[in-house]
Amino acid sequence: MLPDNKLPDRAAAFETERGRLTGLAYRMLGSLTDAEDIMQDAWLRWEGAAPDDIRKPAAYLSAIVTRLCLDRLKQARRHREVYVGPWLPEPVLTDPASVDDPDCLSEKDISYALMLALERLSPLERAAFILYDVFDMPFGEIAPVLGRSEQACRQLASRARPYPQFPSPF
């Protein structure tokens, strides 16, 4: 909780994180349209949250977006049996995470080929990999978001890497 139970203006706090959160949702879902839908849902949850529940706005918003993406991925897997052909991520000409900050993640940008590789992961593996390897979140913060132990999150991220014996390229 922030000192004196005061939060910065909710809209300003959300807008500060919007680019990073949209990038997170896009990387997890592979579709900018779905990422924008997740951002709308995240805003509604953010506005409805009790101030006592928020200690760090950025971490709280990351948790909301990650959980919404996991729900969307589970739902998509149930409906994908009618999808014809291989799933391909939606290419984006402008990286949503770099809209507000051109230096944000420019060297860590995920290529189209890696988006295809991410599709082969389970939703939990994908979330652990993206949060740890791309967004540098410690496993201690990832564990409560995914509802797993810290060690289980380490294992999920390890399984997500194509060659676990090599360090992450990020």
pLDDT, one tens digit per residue, over 95-143 is 555 545 544 444 445 456 566 677 778 888 988 988 898 888 999 999 9
Q: Which residue type, as a one-letter code, is found at position 34?
A: D
Structure-block tokens of residue 165: 């014996």
How does DSSP assign 115-130, residue by residue?
A: HHHHHTS-HHHHHHHI
State the pLDDT at residue 105.
45
- Residue ranges covered by each domain of the chain: 3-160
CATH architecture of 3-160: Up-down Bundle (1.20)
Taking alpha carbons only, the member of 166, 110, 165, 116 closest to residue 135 is: 110
Residue labelled with tokens 């051109």:
102
Dist. CA 162–CA 62, nearest whole Å: 25
Could you give the CA distance from residue 168 to residue 160 in angstroms, rounded to a whole number? 10
The whole-number pLDDT of residue 106 equals 43
Q: Give residue-wise pLDDT tens across range 20-61.
A: 999 999 888 888 889 999 999 999 999 998 888 888 888 899
Whole-number pLDDT of residue 110: 46
Reported as a single tens digit per residue, the pLDDT across 145-169 is 899 999 999 999 988 876 544 455 5
Residue at token pair 């060690």: 151
